[in-house]
Structures are given as structure tokens and as C-alpha cells.
């Protein structure tokens, strides 16, 4: 479903999420991307509530970058099948909702994106490579 480890590392570096990416496996990189997007949305929410327009825009741009250039680009649409295609469409939707949130100061749109990201992030935490091996044995 996801491209090789080099593509995941490249996508991770591109969005500039700080961490020790050289030692992280592709699964961990995806988890870090989700955490980075969620943190950016949290920052956008706080900036929106404090009417800090520039900070809100920067935070939303960061979340869009992580989703569009990190999570989305790490998908392997050829081998990932229907799940990868659905995630691809969902990431497009999340980016559109974030753009709308930025334009309209739409706090519910931010909350929607945060909730959807948390659901996917939770699923990724559940399919950790170690857990898969434990369930097989």
C-alpha cells in the first residue's frame, strides 16, 4: 500500500517534521506525519481562536503540506489497492477542508479534519509491525 522506505523518508523530509528519521521505519514515519499534522491543526485552532491570522495561515499551510506532500505522497497507489485509493481521496478532501477553514475561519472544519486524522492515526497505531507479528504467532 505504501511506497518503499526511501519514498517515505523523502516525503517526511520534505514536510520538515523534526525527528530522527534516519532510524525510523516507514510505519513510524507515517505515525510521525500524522502527529505533525495534528500538532499543526492544534496550532491553527489556537491561532484562529486568538485571531492571529498570520499564525493561523502558517499552521494550516503546514498541515496541508504534511497531508498533501507527506501522507499523500507516501501512498503506493499501484500496490495499495482500494485502501490506498480511498486514503488518497480522503487526503484530498482534508486539504480542501483545511483551505476552507483558512479562508472562512471555520473552526468546525478544523475540528472535522482533526477528528478524521485521529481516526486514521489510531488505525495506524493499531497495525504497528510488532503487533502484526504477535497476532500471527
pLDDT tens figures, 26-72: 888 899 899 999 999 999 999 999 999 999 999 999 999 999 999 99
Distance CA 64, CA 73 (A): 12
Q: CA-based diameter of the chain, in Å? A: 53
Q: Is 115 left (phi over 0), alpha (psi -120 to 50) or beta?
A: alpha
Is the pLDDT at 15 greater than 60, yes or no?
no
Task: Tell me the CB-side half-sphere exposure of residue 46, using CA atoms within 13 A.
Answer: 9
pTM, entire model: 0.78
Task: Tell me the CB-side half-sphere exposure of residue 19, using CA atoms within 13 A.
Answer: 18
Domain count of the chain?
1
- The Cβ of residue 122 has, within 10 Å, a number of other Cβ atoms equal to 10
pLDDT per position as a tens digit, 75-95: 988 998 999 999 999 999 999
CATH at 94: 1.20.120.340
* CA 57 from centroid of its chain's CA atoms: 17
Residue 99, all three cell numbers: 483551505
**Phi, psi torsion values for 75, nearest 5 degrees:** -70, 140
pLDDT per position as a tens digit, 91-112: 999 999 999 999 999 999 999 9
Grouping H, G, I as helix, E, B as strand and the rest as coil, residue 5 is: helix
Q: What pLDDT score does 136 carry?
A: 40
Distance CA 52, CA 25 (A): 37
Q: Give the domain range for residue 117.
A: 5-136
Amino acid at each position: 500500500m505504501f511506497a518503499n522506505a526511501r519514498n517515505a523518508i523523502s516525503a517526511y523530509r520534505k514536510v520538515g517534521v523534526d525527528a530522527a528519521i534516519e532510524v525510523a521505519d516507514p510505519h513510524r514515519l507515517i505515525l510521525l506525519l500524522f502527529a505533525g499534522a495534528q500538532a499543526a491543526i492544534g496550532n491553527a485552532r489556537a491561532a484562529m481562536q486568538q485571531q492571529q491570522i498570520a499564525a493561523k495561515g502558517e499552521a494550516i499551510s503546514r498541515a496541508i503540506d504534511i497531508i498533501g506532500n507527506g501522507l499523500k505522497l507516501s501512498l503506493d497507489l499501484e500496490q495499495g489497492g482500494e485502501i490506498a485509493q480511498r486514503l488518497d481521496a480522503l487526503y484530498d478532501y482534508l486539504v480542501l477542508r483545511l483551505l476552507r477553514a483558512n479562508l472562512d475561519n471555520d473552526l468546525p472544519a478544523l475540528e472535522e479534519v482533526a477528528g478524521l486524522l485521529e481516526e486514521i492515526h489510531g488505525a495506524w497505531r493499531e497495525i504497528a509491525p510488532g503487533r502484526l507479528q504477535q497476532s500471527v504467532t
